[in-house]
C-alpha cells in the first residue's frame, strides 16, 4: 500500500469512526443507563429500527428533521417503558422480554414503514469542520453531524450525573443492591422503569441518525444489528459512559475499514472487512468475559451477574 493510500484509508477510518459511531454511542449510552439500574434491555435493536422509521416519517411529514429525531426518541421511550413495565411483573425474565421486543420493534417499523421507503425526507445537516483543508477527503471526513456532539455531551453528563446527583446514586444503588434500595424506601420498579424508558429514548434517537444522516434513507435493511452490538459494547465499556464513547468510536472505525479499502481500490476481502465489527464484537465478548475487572464493575443486580 502506498503512503498516500495509507493516509486515505486512515482519514476514511477517522471519518467513518465519527459517522458510524453515533448510533452505537446512543444505544450504548441508553443501555448503560438501563443496566446501571439493574436491568438488561436486549430489545434496543427494535428501538433503533423503529426510531429510524419514525424519524424518517416524522421528517417527511413535518419537513423538520429535528422533529423527526424527537419523534424517534419518543417512540423509543414508549417501547422502553413497555419493556420496563412488563419486566416488573413477577417472574418475568428481562432477557426474554428484550428478545421479544427486538422483533416487536422491527416488526412495527416494517409494518408502518412501507409507505416511506420511496419518498425522500429532509435530512439532518452536518457541520463542515474540514473547511480549513483543501484536501477533499479530509473535508469530507470532517463533515460531522451535530448528534455526534450531543452524544459526547450526553456521555459526559451521564458520567457526572451518576456520581454527583441524587438520581445518579439512586440508579446505581438500585442496580447494585436492590435490598438496600428497598430498605431506603426507593421503588425499584419505578427506577428501573424510568431508566429503561430513558434508555429506549436514546436508542430511538440513535435510530434517527441512521435514517436521517448516515446511510440516510429508510429501508428495511437499514440496521445491521448495531442495536445488538451496542449491548456487547456496554459490557466492553464496563458500564462507564465515557468508555462507551471510545468503544463506539472503535466499532465505527472497524466498520469503516471495508469501504475505506475499497475507495483506494482494494476490493479483495471486501466482505471480510465489512464483517470487521462483528468479528470485533465476538473477540470483545470473549476478552471481556475473561476480564477480571469487568467482573468488578458489573452492577450486582444484573441477571448477567447472577
Partner 1 sequence: MNAAAAITASRPLQRGPALETVGMTKAFGAFTALDDVSIDVRAGSFHALLGENGAGKSTLVKCIMGFYNATRGSVLLDGRESTIRSPRDARDLGIGMVYQHFTLVPCLTAAENLVISRADAPAVFDWKKEKPKLEEFMDGMPFRVPLNGQVSSLSAGEKQKLEILKLLYLEQRFMILDEPTSVLTPGEADEVLGLLGEMARRGEVTVLMISHKFREVKAFCDSFSVLRRGRLTGTGDAQAASVAEMSRMMIGDTEVRERAVRAARNDSRPVLDLAGLVAEDEEGRRVVDAVNLKVGAGEIVGIAGVSGNGQSALVEVLSGQRGLADGGIFINGKPFEPKRRDFDRFKVFGLPEEPLKNATVPRMSVAENIAFRSYDKPPIASLGWWLSPGPMRRKAEELIARYRVKTTSPDSPIEALSGGNVQRAVLARELSGEVDVLIVANPCFGLDFASVAEIRAQIMEQRNRGAAVLLVSEDLDEILELSDRVAVMSGGSIAYVAPIGETDRNTIGGYMGGQHMAGH
* Least Å from the CB of residue 169 to partner 1: 4
Report in angstroms the alpha-carbon separations of 87 from 18, 91, 93, 95. Answer: 35, 8, 7, 9
Report in angstroms the alpha-carbon separations of 121 from 20, 46, 56, 63, 289. Answer: 20, 22, 6, 7, 42
Stretch in the footprint of partner 1 (CB under 8 A) among 121-129, 133-141, 161-169, 243-251: 161-169
Does position 91 interact with partner 1 (CB under 8 A)? The reply is: no
| Distance between CA atoms of residues 150 and 154, nearest Å | 6
What is the torsional sign of CA 197, 113, 108, 17?
negative
Does position 169 interact with partner 1 (CB under 8 A)? The reply is: yes
Residue 94 in contact with residue 87, Cβ under 8 Å?
Answer: yes
Q: Which is nearer to partner 1, 96 or 295 (CB)?
A: 295
Q: What is the CA radius of gyration of the chain?
A: 19
Does position 118 interact with partner 1 (CB under 8 A)? The reply is: no
Q: Which residues contact 306 (CB under 8 A, 6 or more apart)?
A: none
Q: Which is nearer to partner 1, 46 or 175 (CB)?
A: 175
Q: Which is nearer to partner 1, 91 or 296 (CB)?
A: 296
**Alpha carbon of residue 208 to chain centroid:** 11
* Least Å from the CB of residue 7 to partner 1: 42
Q: How many residues bind partner 1 (CB under 8 A)?
A: 24
| Distance between CA atoms of residues 135 and 142, nearest Å | 11
**Which of 2, 3, 166, 271: binder of partner 1 (CB under 8 A)?**
166
Does position 172 interact with partner 1 (CB under 8 A)? The reply is: yes
Does position 165 interact with partner 1 (CB under 8 A)? The reply is: yes
* Least Å from the CB of residue 191 to partner 1: 13
Q: Which is nearer to partner 1, 19 or 172 (CB)?
A: 172
Does position 183 interact with partner 1 (CB under 8 A)? The reply is: yes
Where is 144: in which H helix or E strand? strand 143-144
Q: Which is nearer to partner 1, 91 or 292 (CB)?
A: 292
Binding site for partner 1 (CB under 8 A): 163-167, 169-170, 172-173, 175-177, 179-181, 183-185, 292-293, 295-296, 299-300
Amino acid at each position: 500500500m502506498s503512503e498516500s493510500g495509507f493516509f486515505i484509508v486512515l482519514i476514511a477510518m477517522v471519518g467513518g469512526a465519527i459517522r458510524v459511531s453515533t448510533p452505537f454511542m446512543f444505544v450504548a449510552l441508553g443501555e448503560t443507563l438501563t443496566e446501571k439500574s439493574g436491568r438488561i434491555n436486549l430489545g434496543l435493536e427494535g428501538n433503533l429500527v423503529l426510531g429510524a422509521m419514525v424519524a424518517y416519517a416524522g421528517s417527511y411529514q413535518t419537513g423538520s428533521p429535528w422533529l423527526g429525531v424527537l419523534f424517534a426518541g419518543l417512540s423509543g421511550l414508549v417501547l422502553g417503558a413497555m419493556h420496563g413495565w412488563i419486566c416488573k411483573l413477577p417472574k418475568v425474565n428481562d432477557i426474554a422480554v428484550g428478545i421479544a421486543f427486538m422483533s416487536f420493534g422491527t416488526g412495527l417499523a416494517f409494518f408502518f414503514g412501507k409507505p416511506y421507503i420511496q419518498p425522500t425526507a429532509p435530512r439532518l445537516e452536518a457541520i463542515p469542520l474540514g473547511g480549513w483543508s483543501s484536501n477533499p477527503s479530509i473535508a469530507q471526513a470532517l463533515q460531522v453531524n451535530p448528534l455526534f456532539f450531543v452524544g459526547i455531551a450526553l456521555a459526559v453528563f451521564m458520567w457526572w450525573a451518576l456520581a454527583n446527583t441524587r438520581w445518579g446514586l439512586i440508579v446505581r444503588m438500585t442496580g447494585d443492591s436492590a435490598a438496600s434500595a428497598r430498605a431506603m424506601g426507593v421503588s425499584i420498579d419505578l427506577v428501573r422503569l424510568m431508566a429503561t424508558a430513558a434508555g429506549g429514548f436514546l436508542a430511538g434517537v440513535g435510530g434517527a441518525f441512521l435514517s436521517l444522516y448516515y446511510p440516510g434513507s429508510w429501508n428495511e435493511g437499514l440496521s445491521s444489528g448495531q442495536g445488538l452490538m451496542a449491548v456487547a459494547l456496554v459490557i466492553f465499556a464496563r458500564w462507564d459512559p465515557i468508555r462507551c464513547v471510545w468503544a463506539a468510536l472503535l466499532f465505527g472505525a472497524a466498520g469503516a475499514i471495508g469501504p475505506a479499502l475499497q475507495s483506494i481500490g482494494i476490493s479483495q476481502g471486501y466482505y471480510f472487512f465489512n464483517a470487521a465489527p462483528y468479528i470485533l464484537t465476538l473477540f470483545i465478548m470473549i476478552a471481556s468475559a475473561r476480564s477480571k475487572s469487568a467482573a468488578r464493575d458489573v452492577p450486582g443486580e444484573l441477571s448477567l451477574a447472577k
